[in-house]
Structure formats: structure tokens, C-alpha cells
Structure 1
Amino acid sequence: MGKRQVGELEPSELVLSLIIADLASVPMQDYGIPLLTGILPILALLAMTMILSVLTMKSVRFRALMCGRPSIVIRDGLVDQREMARNRLTIDELLEELRAKGYTDPATVKYAILETNGQLSVLPYANQKPPTAQQLQVSAEESGLPLVVISDGRLLEHNLRALGRDRKWLDQRLEERGCSGLEAVFLLLVDQTGSIYLARKDMSV
């Protein structure tokens, strides 16, 4: 199923997870049932899942049958009541999802799409989007991916090497910030430009 949360599972994947959990619990509860009796149907279900996954990738029609299709519940600021009724989505649930995305007025939303995993994707009007640095014609420097260099007083040397830095550079940065050593640091993040985020360890914890 890949890296998914429970809320991101398709209906068929959620049902499969529940079935596997039920099958696994039977031989663990009843010592008279051989463990192999519970493993074989689980393996069969996993094999079936792999087959369905391949078919889903290869066939658009099969993917629509298994996973369904996204539904547009708001179009041009207007709520589509027919789509909401078809998906059994109440107005309270819709407004709650919009507030979670940072929108309180449906009129400011160009499209709101109910995805197949139950999540609501909100696409606002262009004049409701925050301007980008490119639109403002401002140059912005790429900071790169921040890496954890110190975690709870422990030095992650492989991340320090990946940043092209050494222990001497790290000791200098800690000294500049008044840290006596690694044990005084709870978290230290460093990006490709050398920018540092430092959180001191709370000794009272």
C-alpha cells in the first residue's frame, strides 16, 4: 500500500487491512489453530492486493472502478448540492474542511474537489492566492533541505558530512551561540546555505 495514513487508504485497501487484522488475530487467540492456517490466507490476500495494484496502474477504467473518481463540490464559488448529496457530504463537513484549509467563504474558492481518499482539495481564485517571489519580481535564494546535525545531544556525523562541514565548523557555530558542547543542544538544523536553527536542551526535563 506504500506510505499512507489510514485516512488516505482507498475503500478496498481499508477493507483489506481489516480482514488481514481479523485473520491474524484468530491463530494468536486460539493456540489449537496452527499459525500456518492464519498465514496462508493473509499471503493470498497480499498477493491479490499486488495484482489489483498492478491492474490499477495499467487500466484507467479499472482504477475508476476500484478507487472511484474525484467529485467537484464547489465550482466557481457555487456549491454543487447534487455532488454533495451523491457523496453524502453535509454542509457542516464541507465548511469544516474549508476552514481547515484556511478558507471561510466558499465564494473565494474556484474549485473544491473531494478526492477519492476523502480529502478535500481547495483551489482558490487567482486573486485569493498569496503572491510568489517571482510575481513580485524579488530574487529568493534557495536554502536547500535542512538536515538534522544534532538530535537530543547526539551528533549525526553523516548529515554533517553531507553538508560539506566538519566538526571544527560545528564547534565554532556552537561557541558563537554560547553552547558549551553537544549535550547542551536539543536540536540543530543546518541547510545548504549554512543557515542554522538551534534549540537548547531544557535541563529541567
Structure 2
Amino acid sequence: MFFDIVWKTALMYLVVIVSMRLMGKRMIGELQPFEFAIAIMISELAVFPLTEGNTNILHGLLAIGVLVLCQFLLSLLSIKSLTVRTIICGRPRIVIKNGKILEKNLKKELYTINDLLEQLRMLNIQNISDVEYGILETNGQLSVVLKSQKRPVTPEDLGIETKYEGLSLDLIIDGIVITHNLKLAKLDMDWLVGKLKENGWDNPRDIFYAYIDTAGNFQFQPKLKASKSRVMNTP
């Protein structure tokens, strides 16, 4: 009985992880309503075979498979058809215009002023009068366009030219070399080991984190244990 519960739990856990992975890369807070509903149903269906001893686990797997298929088809339809996308996901709605709250639009979305103020605070906006447009997106997040005189100053505004910044790439994570990123940066292990040796470290396994920053510079941080060991062995 014990081992039966263990393998069923492990199996359903893997099934839920794979199912959520197949649903795409959205964060939970960015799920559309139909995606959120499917996520909850998948979780419930995964628990059902574990709590009901007489239930065949294949029934739970079949039900989860049907839900994932439905989600995939709905997502495909929403990509292909603007009408279907609007029906399923709804449309963004303007809730702030020229520093004024649009009360009617808030009521249509069943959105309270407290919800709106909370979202603004999370965006570091204290005054509604600073907002040109506030748009409630289909996933419930608030997008804000500040008035031109309230936006942060950029180098372009000051006529300052800036250097190109590339992509920061992880090279070592907890002692493991990320070979894919090395290839992406058009580098190899010899280069990486050479860089470490320049800084007094021979083994990538002693490095907690290493990366190439946006300016193309090599940065790294040794493991705490390796650093302590080095200090103790230093005469």
C-alpha cells in the first residue's frame, strides 16, 4: 500500500509538471482565465486517483490528457483567429485616461479602486494624475503610460550616445559549466579555464557562479566552501 501511494504520487507529479510545461511559459499571474481554470482542474484531477483508492490511475491520466488537448486547441484557435481570441481572452480596457479614472470601465471589469491603486503602487506610481493611460490587460495586469513630463529621463533625451549592451550569459552555475552558453558566446572550455586561472582558480567546480556581463566582461564568484578552504590552506 505504501509503495503504491509513492509511485502514484511521483507519477502524477511528473504528469502535472509536463502538462503545465506543455501549456507554455506564462507565469501563473499572466495566465488567461481559461488557462488558469485548466491549471486548477489538472491539479484536482491529479489528486483524485491518490485519494480514491479504488480509482484507476489511468482515468486520471486520461482526463488530464483531454484537458491539455483542449487547452492546446483553444490556444491554437486564439492564435489563428482574432474573434476567438477576443471571446476567450477578452480585450484590454482603458481604466485611466489623462489622469482620470474611468468609472464605467472599472465597473465593467468588476475592478475596484482599491485594486487599481494597489497595482499603481506596485508600479511605483503614487499619483493618478501622472498617468496618461492605464490599461487593464486581459490577464488582469495593469499597464501604464506615464505623461511625457513624468517619464524618467533617458540618455536619448539628453543627447548622450551609449555603448551597445549585449546579453548577459551564465557560464558556470554551482560548479557546472553551461556549454550551450559558451557556444552561444563563441567561446570554449580552454578560454573559460584560462580566465579562471588568470584569477587563481584551476577548477570550474570551485566556482559558484560565473557569467559574461552585458559589456562582455567575465565575472565570477567562488563557492563559499572553496574560498574558506583556500584561506585555511594559505600559509
TM-score interval for Structure 1 and Structure 2 normalised by the shorter chain: 0.7 to 0.9
Alpha-carbon RMSD: 2.5
Pair 1:124 & 2:121 matched: no
Greater RCO structure (CA 8 Å; 6+ sep): 1
In 1, the alpha carbon distance for the partners of 2:222 and 2:207 equals 5
Q: Which residue of 2 aligns with 1:88?
A: 110
Gapped runs of 5+ residues in structure 1? none
**Which structure is higher in helix share?**
2
* TM-score, normalisation: structure 1: 0.84
- Give the secondary structure class of the aligned counterpart of 1:123: strand
Q: Which residue of 2 aligns with 1:2?
A: 24
Q: Which residue of 2 aligns with 1:180?
A: 201
Gapped runs of 5+ residues in structure 2? 1-22, 229-235
In 2, the alpha carbon distance for the partners of 1:180 and 1:101 equals 42
The question of whether the paired residues in 2 share the 8 Å contact of 1:163 and 1:191 is answered with no
- Cα drift, residue 81 of structure 1: 1.6
State the one-letter code of the partner of 1:82. Answer: K
- Cα drift, residue 65 of structure 1: 1.6
In 2, the alpha carbon distance for the partners of 1:23 and 1:149 equals 40
User: What is the correspondence of 1:39-188 to structure 2 with a 5 Å cutoff?
Assistant: 39-167=61-189, 169-171=191-193, 173-174=195-196, 178-181=199-202, 182-188=204-210
- Give the secondary structure class of the aligned counterpart of 2:224: coil
- Cα drift, residue 167 of structure 1: 4.8
Percent identity, aligned pairs only, is 35
- Cα drift, residue 119 of structure 1: 0.5
- Cα drift, residue 175 of structure 1: 5.3
Q: Which residue of 1 aligns with 2:233?
A: none
The question of whether the paired residues in 1 share the 8 Å contact of 2:213 and 2:219 is answered with no
- Give the secondary structure class of the aligned counterpart of 1:31: coil
The question of whether the paired residues in 2 share the 8 Å contact of 1:75 and 1:111 is answered with yes
In 2, the alpha carbon distance for the partners of 1:15 and 1:137 equals 49
Q: More deviation in 55-64 or 96-105?
A: 55-64
State the one-letter code of the partner of 2:101. Answer: V
- Cα drift, residue 110 of structure 1: 0.6
Instruction: Quickly say closer, same or farther: Cα 1:160–1:60, change in 2 above 3 A.
Output: closer
The question of whether the paired residues in 1 share the 8 Å contact of 2:170 and 2:212 is answered with yes
* TM-score, normalisation: structure 2: 0.74
State the one-letter code of the partner of 1:124. Answer: L
Q: More deviation in 160-169 or 101-110?
A: 160-169
The question of whether the paired residues in 1 share the 8 Å contact of 2:99 and 2:132 is answered with yes
CA distances 1:45-67 after superposition (whole Å, capped 9, x unpaired): 22222222222223222222211
In 2, the alpha carbon distance for the partners of 1:21 and 1:37 equals 14
